[in-house]
Amino acid sequence: MADAALQRQAAATVQAGRRSSLKRVLGRKSTVAFFMTLPLILLVALLILYPAFYSLHLATLNKSMQRFIGLGNFEFLFKRETFWMVVQQSCIFAITAVVFKALIGFIVAHFVHNVPLKGQRKWRGMLLVPWVIPPAMSTLAWLWLFDPSYSAFNWVLAKFGIGPIPWTGDAYWARFSVILVNVWYGAPFFMIMYLAALKSVPEQLYEAAAIDGANWFQRLWYVTLPMMRNIIAITVLFSLIVTFANFDIVRVLTAGGPVDKTHIFATWAFRIGIEGGDIPLGASVSLFMVPILAIAAIFILRDITRRGSEV
C-alpha cells in the first residue's frame, strides 16, 4: 500500500514531463526486483534444488550408472546388516547429542545469567570458543587427546589408578567419544541462544512468582520454560538437522571405525559414494536423511508462518 502511494508520489513529481512515466516506474520496479533476485534464484535452482532431485534419479541407477534398476539399491541396502547399524547409530548419535547439548547449554546459560552483568561478556566469550574453531581442526585435538598410546586423558586417569580407556578403539567407547565431541562442539551454540532467551524474560514475572512464594524449581517450570518454549523448540529442531547430517567430527575422529560401528549416514555415504566409487548407492544412503529433514522443515515452516501472522 505504501509502495503504491509512493509510486503515485514519484509519478506525481515527474508528472509535469511525461504521462507514461507511471507505467514505466511500475515496469522498472518489478524488472529491477527480478534482476536483483535472479542470481539467488539461479543458485538455489541449479546448485541446491537440482542436485537434490538429481540424487533421487541417481539412486535408481546401477553402479556403472548405465541401467535403471528402480528400487534395487534400496532393496540391497535393506538386506545389509551394516545399513541397519548405520540407521541405529545415526539416531542414537543425533538424539543423544542434541539432548545433552540442549541440557548443558541450558544449564550453562543459567550460570552465566547468574553472574554480575559486567562479567557475563567475558564468560560468554570464553565459553563460545568451541563453536568458533572449525570442527575439523578441533576434532584433531580430540583425536590427539584420545590417542591410544599417548592419551592425555588416560595419563590423568592412570594417576587415579583407572586403567587405559580405549577411547576410539572399542565400539562403545568410540560411540561415546563421537557424541562427547559433538556435545562439546554444539553446546556453546545452545548456551548463546538460551542466554539471549533468558535475558528476554521480563524480570517482573520472577518478582511476581517470588511474591507468590515459588521456589527455584517452580520459577523454572512455570516461568522460564514456558517463556523459552519457542526458542527451545527451534534450536532443538535446527540442531537435530545439523547433527543428523554431521560429517566432520565422525570422519576425523573415527572415520566410521572400529568395524563401521560409528558410521552415520553422511560418513557412510561418503565411504560408499566417493571412496568406494558407487555413486548411486551412496546417493541412496544419503537420501535417508530426507525424512527427518522434511519433518523438521514442516515444523519450522509452521513456526515461521505463525510468527508471520502474529506480526
Partner 1 sequence: MASEAMVRGGPTRKIKYGSISRDRAWALRWSYFFLVLFAIFFLLPPIYMFITSLKTSAEISAATNPWWVNEPTLSNYIELLTSNQFLTFFWNSAMVSVLVVIITMLISVPAAFALSRMRFWGSATLATGVFLTYLIPDTLLFIPLFKMFSVLNDWTGIQLLNRWYVLLVVYPTLTVPFCTWIMIGYFASIPKELDEAALIDGATWMQTLTLIFIPVALPGLIAATIFAFTVSWAQFLYPLAFTTSIDQLVLPVGIITSLIKGDVFNWGQIMTGALLGAAPPLIIYAFLMDYYIAGLTAGATKG
Between residue 73 and residue 102, which ones bind partner 1 under the rule CB under 8 A? none
Residue the block writes with cell 578441533? 138
C-alpha grid cell, residue 97 = 547429542
Among 91, 92, 103, 136, indicate the residue that binds partner 1 (CB under 8 A): 136
> What residues between 262 and 301 interact with partner 1 by CB under 8 A?
265-266, 269-270, 273-274, 279, 282-283, 286-287, 289-290, 293, 296-297, 300-301
Query: Considering the rule CB under 8 A, would residue 209 count as an interface residue with partner 1?
Result: no
φ, ψ of residue 61 to 5 degrees: the values are -100, 165
Alpha carbon distance 27, 31 (integer Å): 6
Closest distance of CB 88 from partner 1, Å: 18
- Tell me the site size for partner 1, rule CB under 8 A: 106
Task: Decide: is 2 part of the binding site for partner 1 (CB under 8 A).
Answer: yes
For the CB of residue 259, give the shortest distance to partner 1 in the complex, in Å.
Answer: 19
**Which of these ranges, 75-83, 94-102, 119-127, 166-174, lies near partner 1 under the rule CB under 8 A?**
119-127
Q: Which residues pair with 68 in a beta bridge?
A: 61
Least Å distance, CB 141 to partner 1, is 4
Site for partner 1 in 40-69 (CB under 8 A): 40-41, 43-44, 47-52, 54-55, 58, 65
CA 69 to CA 144: how far, in whole Å? 44
Render 277-288 in DSSP notation, one character per residue. Answer: --HHHHHHHHHT
Cα 143 to Cα 97: distance, rounded to the nearest angstrom:
18
User: Cα 181–184–187 angle (5° rounding)?
Assistant: 135
Q: Is 61 helix (H, G, I), strand (E, B) or coil?
A: strand
Among 64, 78, 304, 306, binds partner 1 (CB under 8 A): 304
Applying CB under 8 A, among 103, 115, 208, 295 the residue interacting with partner 1 is 115
User: Among 73-81, 83-91, 168-176, 227-235, which window interacts with partner 1 (CB under 8 A)?
Assistant: 227-235
Q: How far is it, in rounded angstroms, from Cα 55 to Cα 174?
A: 31
Q: How many CB atoms lie within 10 A of CB 145?
A: 15
Q: What is the smallest separation between the CB atom of 187 and partner 1, expressed in angstroms?
A: 8
Give, to the nearest 10 degrees, the angle between helix 72-79 and helix 279-287. 70
Q: Does 241 bind partner 1 (CB under 8 A)?
A: yes
Q: List the beta bridge partners of residue 282.
A: none
Sole window of 81-89, 165-173, 180-188, 219-227 interacting with partner 1 (rule: CB under 8 A)? 180-188
CB of 5 to partner 1, least distance (A): 8
Angle at 81 between CA 79 and CA 83, to 5 degrees: 85
